[in-house]
Amino acid sequence: MHRRFIQKRFQSSSTKNLIPIRTSLKGAALLQQPVLNKGSAFTREEREVFQVDGHIPYDVHSLEKQMVRAYAQFKKQPSNILKHAFLASLRDQNQVLFYALVSQRLKEMLPVLYTPTVGEAVGQYSELFRRPIGCFLSLPTAHSMKEQLQSHANAAFRYKYPPGMKNTDHDRPFDIIVVTDSEGILGIGDQGVGGISISTSKAALYVAGAGVDPNRILPVVLDVGTDNHALFANPLYMGYKHVRTRGVAYDHFVHQFMMNVKELFPGALVHFEDFGLNNAARLLETYKPVLPCFNDDIEGTGAVALAATMSAIGVTKSKLSDQRIVVYGAGTAGMGIANQIRDAMVELEGISVEEANSKFWCIDRDGLLLKSNSKLQGSQHDYARDDEECRDWNREIQEQPNLRLIDVVKAVKPTMLVGCSTNARAFNEEVIRTMAEHTERPIIFPMSNPTSLVEVDPVDANEWTDGRALIATGSPFPPAKNPITGNDYYIAEANNALIYPGLGLGTIASRSSKMSKGMILAGVRALASVSPALDDPDAPLLPDLADVRKVSLHVAAAVVKQALEEGVANVNLKKDDEAIIEHIKVGMWDPVYRPLEFEPEDEN
């Protein structure tokens, strides 16, 4: 299914666009509510009924005109961190205008709203703080956690549907909970309470990228202390000033949170974000059978990398199991990518898990993962190689005790090289040229963020492979010139925003009891199916981020269909593509101003 078909078929039209919003608020109180505030876009009738005249200038402006003004203000900000702060302020003032602007210019604003700028915003959270957004659950107040969560549900905005209009909302207050414990923030580590900015940014991408109702997403930070000594020394730090809680006390706190979510928001999807290496996979494995949950660092990163891989093998006309894959950086993201590709080999090509594991050579800071290594954790055990297999490999420096990247590349002759190390320029000219000697179309994925830590600049990878490389990166890069033809090669950005909003939308639209591996794989295949490279081998491996809303609807439809096939969906729906798409679209949220209707406050 190519991009033109997506544009024609998946135009979003939500029932919620037609719903009048009923409220008893008037005047200044109305203007202070970002869900209701229209600023200069209030109609003449609304200004009179809601006593807004005198609080705003006279002229009535359309949303489009407001977006022109807001974009000009955005462009005038002198740095990305100030642009990030501007967008946060706009969201606090006018929800519709914020999402209309971001949705229109998502590709441009994504690096400001999320990586890499959000890392800076997280680090300066206590200095930049203006207004709390999200739910702050701290260990010292765990005794009232249930009441704290319930208060957010009570305060959340809800549409009041007029008689005769179909209610597309569910009985649960929230559809998605985006939660972090802030230990593994974007390669900058433990950031304490500032991690809430990660949760709010991810939540915003669910809205802009997939049309999830912003009023049905709850960003959460679990503040269990911090081991970041700079935060302790900061007198403005707003979080729990205590060493990071671990072990039984930590597990009890997380379990308390998960059980409260299950009770208060039954069926809501829990999105884990930036948990530490020792907890991310463990918590996902623990709670997958209990309620719908998803770890973006493990499953999201792996999913978008798998989609790019499937696009690449579509170009090379090969199979997943034909690949020899070197993963440089065997942490949460690297193992997540390996696991997703491995599981796809097993599911789609019918090979055994053991055979699929043998297609990978994974490298961490100590070198190639070997079975003799006593430091192996979690999934690393699956990919550790026999020491005997590697004993005779020539080391460039004989006294080097561990097998390094260049040693592995020379011995393995990989067809695919994945970087998740944050080790800048680790894929040097020798590594890339050595790889390119043995494969016609080298698949090279330097996935590390930010761009300053990427393993290889795509321009160099393109040059050193004579323009033959199939490249996807974790950060945005400009096109690279093909050194042979002189044509521009547009670099695919393997951004999680291409996959996780659609996975989430599909899960909540199906009211699924879980987000299964099959549902994720269905979403991956849907994303890979709209790769521009399938029409043009020199085009990007993944769709443009500017098309993410249409892509997310396509992904979500595949997820819903798979949930129906597996029997985990809780909706009465035919397994028909058009019926599924219409079902999803009915519940999607669009950033448009709804008409306001005055409703006197209930005196009872």
Catalytically active residues are: 114, 202
Residue with tokens 């690393």: 380
Phi and psi for 296 in degrees, rounded to 5? -65, -35
Q: What is the SS3 assignment for 119? A: helix
Of residues 421, 409, 415, 404, the one with CA closest to residue 443 = 415
Cβ(525)–Cβ(558) below 8 Å: yes
> Is the four-CA dihedral 233, 238, 241, 245 of positive or negative sign?
negative
Q: How far apart are CA 445 and CA 454, in angstroms?
A: 10
Known binding residue 297? Answer is yes
Residue with tokens 């090379």: 316
Q: Which residues contact 303 (CB under 8 A, 6 or more apart)?
A: 340, 496, 499, 500, 503, 520, 523, 524, 527
Q: What is the SS3 assignment for 138? A: strand
Q: How far apart are CA 346 and CA 352, in angstroms?
A: 6
Q: Work out the angle between the directed axes of helices 106-113 and 196-210 (0-180°, nearest 10).
A: 170
Q: What is the SS3 assignment for 21? A: strand
Q: How far apart are CA 109 and CA 421, in angstroms?
A: 26
Q: Which residues contact 108 (CB under 8 A, 6 or more apart)?
A: none
Known binding residue 274? Answer is yes
Known binding residue 322? Answer is no
Report how far Cα 448 is from the mean position of its chain's Cα atoms.
Answer: 15
Q: What is the SS3 assignment for 456? A: coil
Q: How far apart are CA 2 and CA 129, in angstroms?
A: 44
Cβ(310)–Cβ(525) below 8 Å: yes
**525-536 core/surface letters (b: 16 or more CB in 10 A; e: else):** bbbbbbbbbbee
Q: Which residues contact 128 (CB under 8 A, 6 or more apart)?
A: 85, 121
Q: How far apart are CA 202 and CA 191, in angstroms?
A: 16
Known binding residue 536? Answer is no
Q: How far apart are CA 340 and CA 304, in angstroms?
A: 9
Phi and psi for 595 in degrees, rounded to 5? -65, 145
Known binding residue 273? Answer is yes
Q: How far apart are CA 489 and CA 486, in angstroms?
A: 9
Binding site per annotation, positions for a divalent metal cation: 273-274, 297
Residue positions in the annotated binding site? 273-274, 297, 449, 495
> Which residues sit in the known binding site for (S)-malate?
449, 495
